[in-house]
Amino acid sequence: MPPKLKAKPVLVTILKFKRKRTTYSIPFNLSEKKVTLDWFISTLKDTIESSGGLQDDNDTTELGENNLENEDDLDIEIPKSELIDEPELELSEPTPETLTPAPASAPLIQSKLKLAIAKDKTAPYDNNWVELTTDDQLSAIIFNDYDILAFSYDDEPFHIVEAAYDEPQ
């Protein structure tokens, strides 16, 4: 009987790409020999486009109890139990007037996407970034799972925001 072949383990590293309040977690096989900056940016571009496009995070206002977008938000319908006998509602077919299409996002231009790594990997939310411009810079970095890379689009500065949760008191 021939000896069993040992499969080489595939090293997959999950990296977080952040822009303002948006985060994309993408798994990469970094054991491949062709890890280039263009490959990283192309993968990020494909991920952004497959998730609905680049979101506009210019609106930094947060919704709170006293800051509702609409007064209609106060009228939240409370679900009723399915066990209560109610007359059946007739469902009508959706019409073009009742359907609201999702806003179409413009396709991304790969050359406008830029990546950066934090000067101090332990403090990425200090927003001190070094832009990655060459494959040599990228190959010198040792990535660990959930390392954060910032990305920007169309000459905007690199800036990320830490997700925070306020505990009720």
pLDDT tens digits, one per residue of 120-133: 999 999 999 999 99
Which pLDDT value is given to residue 67?
Answer: 47
What's the pLDDT tens digit per position in 15-45?
Answer: 999 999 899 999 988 777 678 899 999 999 9
Rounded to whole angstroms, the Cα distance separating 81 from 84 reads 6
Q: What is the mean pLDDT of the chain?
A: 78
pLDDT band at 59 (very low <50, low <70, confident <90, very high): very low
Burial of residue 74 (CB within 10 Å: 0-12, 13-18, 19+) is exposed
What pLDDT score does 31 carry?
77
What per-residue confidence (pLDDT) applies to 63? 42
What residue segments make up the domains of the chain, in order of their start?
8-55+105-158
pLDDT given at position 134: 93
Q: What CATH architecture applies to the domain 8-55+105-158?
A: Roll (3.10)
Residue 48 pLDDT more than 50?
A: yes
124 CB neighbour count, 10 Å cutoff: 21
pLDDT at residue 101 above 60? no
Q: What's the rounded mean pLDDT across residues 66-90?
A: 59
The verdict on pTM exceeding 0.75 is no
**Cα dihedral 67/69/72/75 (nearest 10):** -50
Which strands make up the sheet holding 22-29, listed edge to edge? 22-29, 12-19, 147-153, 113-118, 129-132
- What's residue 75's pLDDT? 67
| Of 20-34, 106-120, 136-150, minimum mean pLDDT range | 20-34
Beta bridge partner(s), residue 148: 16
Of 5-9, 42-46, 52-56, 87-91, the range with the highest mean pLDDT is 42-46
